[in-house]
Chains A and B, each alone.
Chain A
Amino acid sequence: EVQLVESGGGLVQPGGSLRLSCATSGFTFSSYWMSWVRQAPGKGLEWVAYIKQDGSEKYYVDSVKGRFTISRDNAKNSLYLQMNSLRAEDTAVYYCARPWDNWGQGTLVTVSS
């Protein structure tokens, strides 16, 4: 069974940093592109970042470029999202996804003073 489990969310002040992790199991992680998607409270889905199997290609939504970094560790079957210079508008549930047939349960990031 494919499983994706996010962790690392929480409350952070504007300008702060957080690192999200996504532990995966049940599939050959190193064979798949992976992604982060977020959903602000009461809003729709917004794609955040996308990474190739070997990490050699990364893509980001314009609003996070230069602030967020997606990475992966294929030896640990894990995906990461380093989020710096956080803003109130980054408040959302962040989902780890294997586009788009498998999703984690999400982790809530709240940016507030």
Chain B
Amino acid sequence: QAGLTQPPSVSKGLRQTATLTCTGNTNNVGYQGAAWLQQHQGHPPKLLSYRNNNRPSGISERFSASRSGDTASLTITGLQPEDEADYYCSAWDSSLSAWVFGGGTKLTVL
């Protein structure tokens, strides 16, 4: 089952803006959008956004998601040290009848 494609790493400076991408196809990201998850080392994932730009309560407005065709994006503004983490995207694949995850992007805040 093919996964979604994410860049392995992104590095940005403190207070800068980072945009993470997640590429799938018409059966997954292009179908119902993607969810974005943040995971700090040694902790379970935390949902940041679902179905493109719906933020759960308690998630900072610095995190915003969007989609263009088969590619989903997560933009993090005003980067803080605590934003340094692994970020995963996920989508339901309607042709595979399976959830697919991206390989994850390690965000480093310089």
Which of A's residues lie within 8 Å of B, judged by CB? 35, 37, 44-47, 50, 59-62, 95, 99-106
B30 close to A (CB within 8 Å): no
10 contacts between A and B (CB under 8 A): A37-B101, A44-B86, A44-B101, A47-B90, A59-B97, A95-B44, A95-B45, A99-B35, A100-B90, A101-B47
Q: Which of A46, A61, A100 contacts B45 (CB 8 A)?
A: A100
Rounded to whole Å, the gap between the CB of B32 and the closest CB of chain A is 12
In the complex, per-residue mask of B67-101: 1 if CB is within 8 Å of any chain A CB, else 0? 00000000000000000001010100000011111
A100 near B50 with CB under 8 A, answer yes
Interface of chain B, helix or strand or loop or mixed?
strand
B109 close to A (CB within 8 Å): no
A44 near B44 with CB under 8 A, answer no
A50 near B44 with CB under 8 A, answer no
Across chains A and B, the number of contacting residue pairs, with CB separation under 8 Å, is 50
Interface of chain A, helix or strand or loop or mixed?
strand
Which of B's residues lie within 8 Å of A, judged by CB? 1, 35, 37, 39, 44-47, 50, 56, 86, 88, 90, 97-104
State the CA gap A103–B37 with chains docked (Å).
Answer: 11
Closest chain A residue, CB of each to CB of B102: A44
A45 near B37 with CB under 8 A, answer yes
State the CA gap A53–B44 with chains docked (Å).
Answer: 23
State the CA gap A95–B47 with chains docked (Å).
Answer: 14
